[in-house]
Amino acid sequence: MDFMTSKRFITTALVFLVVLNITLLGMLWWQNTNRPFQGSPVSVREFNRHHSFTTQLGLTEAQALSFRNLRQEHFRKVAPEMEVIAQLKKQLLNESLSGKPDAKKIAILAESIGKNQAAIERELALHFNALGKVCTPEQRNTLKKVLERLAARRFFGRNERWENSPSPGRNDCTTLPPSGEPR
Note whether 134 and 70 are within 8 A (CB): yes
- Which long-range contacts link 146-152 to residues 24+ away (Cβ below 8 Å)? 146/52, 146/53, 146/56, 146/57
**pLDDT (mean) for 44-71:** 74
Cα separation, 148 vs 130, whole angstroms: 17
Q: Is residue 71 part of a domain?
A: yes
Q: Which tops the pLDDT comparison, 105 or 157?
A: 105
Q: Is residue 16 part of a domain?
A: no
67-99: burial string, b at 16+ Cβ within 10 Å, e else: bbebbeebbeebeebeebbeebeebbeebeeee
Q: Is residue 20 part of a domain?
A: no
**pLDDT (mean) for 111-121:** 93
This prediction has a pTM of 0.56
Q: Is residue 118 part of a domain?
A: yes
Q: Is residue 18 part of a domain?
A: no
CATH number at residue 142: 1.20.120
* Sign, Cα dihedral of 72, 73, 79, 82: negative
H-state helical runs in the chain: 7-33, 41-57, 61-96, 103-134, 137-164
Give phi and psi for 123, each to the nearest 5: -60, -40
Look at 35-49, 84-98, 110-124 and tell me which has the smallest mean pLDDT: 35-49
Domain count, the chain: 1
Angle at 153 between CA 147 and CA 156, to 5 degrees: 135
Print the domain residue range for 126: 42-157
Amino acid at 49: R
Q: Is residue 166 part of a domain?
A: no
Summarize pLDDT for 119-157 with one digit per residue, the tens. Answer: 999 999 999 999 999 989 998 998 888 888 888 876 665
Q: Which tops the pLDDT comparison, 179 or 55?
A: 55
Q: Is residue 112 part of a domain?
A: yes
Cα separation, 3 vs 15, whole angstroms: 17
Q: Is residue 113 part of a domain?
A: yes
**pLDDT (mean) for 34-50:** 49
